[in-house]
């Protein structure tokens, strides 16, 4: 079972939409991804505002910044 992840982004972010599209096939195969809107938290906005989208592993806090493809995500989750 792959680790649970969070995808940090915000509404209207074209790159975030591309990241979601890369993740969808993995989600369909069991990857759990929580979409986190950084606009809802000043702390998240300050941390990720210039870097979104960012995929973060919940189990160890590891982060994978954009750009990434499905193959890179699979390697990141190993």
Q: Can you give the pLDDT of all 78 residues of the chain as single tens digits?
A: 678 999 999 999 999 999 999 999 999 999 999 999 999 999 999 999 999 999 999 999 999 999 999 999 999 999
Range of the domain at 41: 3-75
Query: How far are the Cα atoms of 22, 42, 61, 77, 78 from residue 19, in angstroms, in the given order?
Result: 5, 22, 18, 15, 19
User: In which order are the strands placed within the sheet that holds 5-9?
Assistant: 33-37, 5-9, 54-57, 63-65
Bridge-based pairing state of the strands 5-9 and 33-37: parallel
Look at the chain and report how many structural domains it folds into.
1
Kindly report the pTM of this predicted structure: 0.94
* CATH code: domain of residue 48: 3.40.30.10
Q: Which residues are CB-contacts of 57 (< 8 A; sequence separation ≥ 6)?
A: 3, 4, 5, 63, 76, 77
């Amino acid at each position: 079972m792959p680790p649970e992840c969070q995808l940090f982004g915000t509404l209207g972010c074209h790159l975030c939409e591309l990241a979601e599209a890369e993740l969808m096939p993995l989600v369909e195969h069991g990857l759990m991804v929580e979409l986190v809107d950084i606009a809802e938290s000043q702390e998240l906005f300050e941390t990720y505002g210039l870097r979104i989208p960012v995929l973060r592993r919940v189990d160890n806090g590891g982060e994978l910044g954009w750009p990434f493809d499905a193959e890179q995500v699979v390697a990141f989750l190993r």
